[in-house]
């Protein structure tokens, strides 16, 4: 995958705040390629036809009031003929009124034609940009996603999608037509009336626009605060519902409700400010326009009284201004929607400018797996420069062999699996597969050849068949069923009413831990990778389930290069080599028996886990005895077990 083409684009800031105007212009520049796509000649033609319809519609719209003027003059002139036809229906006033009606119909017709032609262009922009944003989020590093809240990210896409529609619709379909209509109308007023009328109209429009822009800028700041509080509330909602069981375990429903309410309290305050500012905006717009219109009408009325204008001229200036009133009145909401859409799009483009931490080189090649030998050579790594995690790790996993990584919490075990999948790049040193440095390999190719069975298996809210088939989307139903059989989950699936078509619920919560692990194993079996990573795949399971899952894992690992990251040492006894990590370095290495003989860290960990297992077994037997009846001394035994 390549880094986003937006990664290098400037994002203008003044201190800690965003320069709103520069940011808006940048956002419009970013949006333009989606409105005028270089690879879609058909959409460009639609834009051209839509603009032609726009011009014709506005030309007719400006000239139509002349029919109204001429009809009025004809009706107010006593010398005008009554009619030219047998029943008077072809009289001049009637024909002019019909022309006025036809002009309005044609104006609306061209407007609708413009909107219809542009609909496909706008929706293509929505789809294309949303899809690119979605893909870009999957290209971003694991570090980015660990630092962001999923609810907030989904909100950015949701609002950004609406923002695309708003900006496209209001800019192309309303802002440009309004500007064109104003220019044409100014030309008509300058031609038909005195220059003072033009001065009044231009001044009125300038004040109207300046007032609207000023107040809208104030309202946009409020909108940003609304977005932040909305993101926060939505993130808290998603986070709380995803952890529904944890909330119930600790009885913290009120705490969660209070956290959510605090976010909504900020949203409520900013929403009220939005509505109050809207009332001021509407009042100011009406006051400015009504004042300008009244001045023009008064001048025209005086001119009619002095005989320098006809009643038709009075009607014409009124009709022209009323036609200007509609788009101007819409300009307030149009400008507001454009600015709000730009704010929403700004967040989406800012997300698009987030550069992936790990990218493929221009000359990256697919991974060529000959045997699957994995080698870590003097690997150093740190999530934070001030806190190194791995300090010169070197080991090799020969093709078809298994190496187990064990050690206390925080030693760097899971970091090894993340580096092997290239979620991060090493700080120094190298990781190779069959001699090929991971940094020289296409990430997609690398991950196609490495399989993972994690400790915490998260499933999609889909069917069991879908989740198993996720390992290889082109797999047939028969292959999915066979993978389930090999993972020893087919018997469980057969007992379900819907079988493989059973929905597993969000994150697979309808299944037990052991059932989810079996599905994960089946998914990996279907993928059939030459290299396998087992990242504490059984540490969250009970002893009985662990033994069953371990049997399935042993089958999956056969003839595959396997890296086992383990918490329970009982699962790695048969590994070809066991590497003991401590404080980011290799403390011990060897086979199970050899490490026990050394009586070092591994032997100490083994003894502690064995004691814990024996205590667990004594407790289990005590519970079973309790079910069959009271046994003397049971209390003391339980105390020892605990």
Region of poorest pLDDT, from 9-18, 496-505, 514-523, 594-603:
9-18
Q: For residues 137 and 348, what is the distance between their CA atoms, to the nearest angstrom?
A: 11
Average pLDDT, the chain: 79
Q: For residues 533 and 566, what is the distance between their CA atoms, to the nearest angstrom?
A: 11
Tell whether the model's pLDDT for residue 16 goes beyond 50.
Answer: no
Longest dimension (CA), the chain: 126
- Domain 455-528 classified CATH 3.10.180.10? no
Tell whether the model's pLDDT for residue 52 goes beyond 60.
Answer: yes
Query: Are the beta carbons of 574 and 566 closer than 8 angstroms?
Result: no
Please tell me what DSSP assigns to residue 539.
Answer: T
Q: For residues 517 and 540, what is the distance between their CA atoms, to the nearest angstrom?
A: 10
Q: For residues 610 and 130, what is the distance between their CA atoms, to the nearest angstrom?
A: 54
- Give per-residue pLDDT as tens, 254-286: 888 888 888 888 888 888 887 887 888 888 888
436-437/450-453 β-pairing = unpaired
Domain boundaries 21-352, CATH class:
mainly alpha
Which burial class, exposed, middle or buried, applies to 168 when counting CB atoms under 10 A from its CB (0-12, 13-18, 19+)?
Answer: buried
Homologous superfamily (CATH) for 367-449+530-598: P-loop containing nucleotide triphosphate hydrolases (3.40.50.300)
> Residue 203: pLDDT band by 50, 70, 90 thresholds?
very high
pLDDT of residue 285: 85
108 SS3 class: helix
Percent of the chain whose predicted confidence (pLDDT) is above 90: 15
Tell whether the model's pLDDT for residue 180 goes beyond 70.
Answer: yes
**Closest by alpha carbon to 347, among 6, 3, 588, 34?**
6
- Give per-residue pLDDT as tens, 73-124: 777 765 555 544 444 445 677 777 788 778 778 878 888 888 787 777 778 8
């Amino acid at each position: 995958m390549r880094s986003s083409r937006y990664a290098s684009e400037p994002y203008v800031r003044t201190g800690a705040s965003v320069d709103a105007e520069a940011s808006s212009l940048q956002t419009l520049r970013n949006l333009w390629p989606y409105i005028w796509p270089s690879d879609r000649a058909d959409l460009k033609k639609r834009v051209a036809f839509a603009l032609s319809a726009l011009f014709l519609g506005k030309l007719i719209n400006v000239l139509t009031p002349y029919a109204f003027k001429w009809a009025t003059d004809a009706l107010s002139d006593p010398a005008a003929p009554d009619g030219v036809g047998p029943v008077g229906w072809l009289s001049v006033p009637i024909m002019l009124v019909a022309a006025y009606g036809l002009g309005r119909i044609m104006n609306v017709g061209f407007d609708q034609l413009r909107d219809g032609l542009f609909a496909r262009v706008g929706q293509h922009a929505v789809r294309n940009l949303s899809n690119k944003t979605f893909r870009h989020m999957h290209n971003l590093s694991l570090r980015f996603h660990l630092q962001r809240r999923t609810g907030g990210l989904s909100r950015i896409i949701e609002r950004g999608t609406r923002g695309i529609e708003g900006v496209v619709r209001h800019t192309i379909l309303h802002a440009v037509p309004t500007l064109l209509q104003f220019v044409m109308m100014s030309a008509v007023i300058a031609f038909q009336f005195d220059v003072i009328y033009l001065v009044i109209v231009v001044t009125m429009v300038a004040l109207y626009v300046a007032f609207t822009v000023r107040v809208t800028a104030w309202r946009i700041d409020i909108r940003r605060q609304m977005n932040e509080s909305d993101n926060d509330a939505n993130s808290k909602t998603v986070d709380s519902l995803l952890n529904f069981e944890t909330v119930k375990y600790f009885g913290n429903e009120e705490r969660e409700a209070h956290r959510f309410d605090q976010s909504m309290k900020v949203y409520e305050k900013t929403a009220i400010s939005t509505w109050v500012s809207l009332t001021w905006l509407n009042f100011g717009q009406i006051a400015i326009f009504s004042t300008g219109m009244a001045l023009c009408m008064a001048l025209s009325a005086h001119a009619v009284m002095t005989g320098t204008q006809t009643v038709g001229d009075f009607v014409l200036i009124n009709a022209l201004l009323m036609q200007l009133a509609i788009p101007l009145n819409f300009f307030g909401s149009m400008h507001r929607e454009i600015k709000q859409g730009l704010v929403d799009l700004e967040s989406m483009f800012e997300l698009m400018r987030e550069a992936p931490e790990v990218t493929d080189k221009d000359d990256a090649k697919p991974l060529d797996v000959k045997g699957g030998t994995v080698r870590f050579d003097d690997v150093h790594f740190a999530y934070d420069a001030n806190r190194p995690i791995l300090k010169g790790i070197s080991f090799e996993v020969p093709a078809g062999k298994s190496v187990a990584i064990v050690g206390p919490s925080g030693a760097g075990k899971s970091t090894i699996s993340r580096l092997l999948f290239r979620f991060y790049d090493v700080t120094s040193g190298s990781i190779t597969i069959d001699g090929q440095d991971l940094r020289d390999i296409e990430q997609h190719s690398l991950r196609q050849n490495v399989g993972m069975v994690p400790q915490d298996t998260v499933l999609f809210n889909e069917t069991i068949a879908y989740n198993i088939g996720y390992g290889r989307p082109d797999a047939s139903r028969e292959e999915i069923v066979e993978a389930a059989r090999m993972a020893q989950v087919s018997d469980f699936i057969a007992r379900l009413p819907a079988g493989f078509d059973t929905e597993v619920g969000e994150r697979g919560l309808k299944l037990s831990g052991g059932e989810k692990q079996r599905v994960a194993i089946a998914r990996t079996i279907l993928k059939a990778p030459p290299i396998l990573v087992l990242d504490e795949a059984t540490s969250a399971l009970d002893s009985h389930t662990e033994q069953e899952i371990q049997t399935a894992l042993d089958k999956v690992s056969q003839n595959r290069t396997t890296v086992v990251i383990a918490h329970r040492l009982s699962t790695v006894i048969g590994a070809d080599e066991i590497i003991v990590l401590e404080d980011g370095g290799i403390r011990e290495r060897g086979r199970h028996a050899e490490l026990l003989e050394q009586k070092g860290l591994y032997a100490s960990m083994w003894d502690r886990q064995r004691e814990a297992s024996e205590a667990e077994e004594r407790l289990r037997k005590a519970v079973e005895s309790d079910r069959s009846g009271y046994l003397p001394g049971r209390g003391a035994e339980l105390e020892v077990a605990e």
